[in-house]
């Protein structure tokens, strides 16, 4: 895409997000810290936007936009999960709205550089964060519904669909760096190297293993029969939990602060079913 055309794609999106963020700050009655961060990033970009964008600048502006949107949506995610606690009446629409904003990042990247992998434009961490935020939000919703038998019965289909989607997002996180989930752990002196061999590049990756394994377990235990999707969930859940347990037991730096009791219980039940 030509430099001027790239500006015509990117600049209006910053302006639109800036206006939306401004309106949200005015309407906000609580903590607006993340909205303020989004606003500052948008203003910093729009106030100094060049007449044209060279190829080397494209990733920078896409990253800035992604970071601003992640701050903007995190404000809504916090309210939905921590304050409103996923209300039955509005949760579906609010999750869809948050995902819609996050998907704008993918849409812009595709417009600017068709066929290019997201991580090539945004970097590993932002690309993984997008998947993590979607998977973790669905985990939070499913965890809330699971604790309410009446609501679980009423929203069972939506609950199971969100479990599947959430697991897919978390599983995809491990594909960003072409990490191969490998349960064969080779003991060595370099714990960091061992973590990388397992596909664990950060605490987010480790938590994603537990979340995905737990969601697989919830999917299995909510099923009425042993279908192909249930069997697939069992196999994937066992794989994720097995890696999580190995990491927390065999990596010295993870032995303190990371519990695996629940993971072991889930794994034992899945192996026995």
Would you state the structure tokens that stand for residue 225, as one six-digit string? 């029969």
Specify the 3-state DSSP secondary structure of 60: helix
Query: Would you say 86 and 140 are in contact if contact means Cβ atoms under 8 Å apart?
Result: yes
Question: Which residue numbers in the chain have pLDDT < 50?
Answer: 179-189
Identify the pLDDT of residue 4.
Answer: 56
Q: Where are the alpha helices (DSSP H) in 222-251?
A: 228-250
Query: Would you say 58 and 6 are in contact if contact means Cβ atoms under 8 Å apart?
Result: yes
Please tell me the distance from the alpha carbon of residue 192 to that of residue 96, in angstroms, as a whole number. 37
Would you state the structure tokens that stand for residue 45, as one six-digit string? 């970009």
Domain range annotation of the chain: 1-122, 124-273
Please tell me the distance from the alpha carbon of residue 267 to that of residue 194, in angstroms, as a whole number. 22
Identify the pLDDT of residue 216.
Answer: 97
Query: Would you say 166 and 138 are in contact if contact means Cβ atoms under 8 Å apart?
Result: yes
Query: What is the enclosing helix (H) or strand (E) of 54?
Result: none
Identify the pLDDT of residue 1.
Answer: 55
What are the CB-based long-range contacts (under 8 Å, 24+) for 247-254?
Answer: 247/185, 247/195, 247/198, 247/200, 247/206, 247/209, 248/206, 250/185, 250/187, 250/194, 251/191, 251/194, 251/195, 252/191, 253/191, 254/206
Please tell me the distance from the alpha carbon of residue 155 to that of residue 106, in angstroms, as a whole number. 29
Give the tens place of pLDDT for each residue, 57-108. Answer: 889 999 999 999 999 999 999 999 999 999 999 999 999 999 999 999 999 9
Identify the pLDDT of residue 184.
Answer: 44
Identify the pLDDT of residue 257.
Answer: 82
């Amino acid at each position: 895409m030509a430099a001027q055309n790239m500006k015509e794609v990117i600049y209006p999106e910053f302006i639109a997000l800036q206006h939306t963020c401004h309106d949200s700050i005015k309407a906000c009655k609580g903590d607006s810290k993340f909205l303020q961060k989004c606003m500052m990033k948008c203003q910093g970009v729009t106030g100094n936007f060049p007449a044209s964008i060279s190829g080397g600048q494209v990733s920078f502006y896409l990253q800035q936009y992604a970071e601003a949107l992640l701050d903007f949506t995190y404000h809504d995610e916090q309210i939905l999960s921590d304050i409103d606690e996923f209300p039955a009446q509005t949760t579906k629409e609010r999750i869809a709205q948050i995902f819609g904003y996050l998907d704008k990042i993918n849409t812009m990247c595709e417009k600017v550089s068709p066929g290019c992998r997201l991580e090539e434009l945004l970097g590993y961490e932002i690309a993984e964060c997008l998947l993590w935020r979607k998977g973790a939000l669905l985990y939070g919703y499913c965890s809330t519904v699971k604790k309410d038998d009446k609501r679980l019965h009423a929203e069972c289909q939506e609950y199971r669909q969100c479990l599947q989607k959430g697991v897919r997002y978390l599983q995809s996180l491990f594909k960003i760096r072409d990490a191969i989930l490998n349960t064969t752990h080779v003991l060595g002196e370099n714990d960091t190297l061992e973590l990388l061999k397992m596909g664990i590049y950060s605490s987010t990756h480790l938590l994603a293993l537990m979340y995905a394994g737990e969601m697989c377990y919830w999917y299995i235990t909510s099923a009425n029969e042993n279908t192909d999707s249930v069997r697939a969930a069992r196999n994937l859940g066992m794989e994720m939990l097995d890696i999580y347990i190995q990491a927390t037991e065999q990596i010295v730096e993870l032995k303190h602060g990371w519990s695996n009791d629940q993971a072991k219980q889930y794994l034992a039940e899945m192996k026995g079913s």
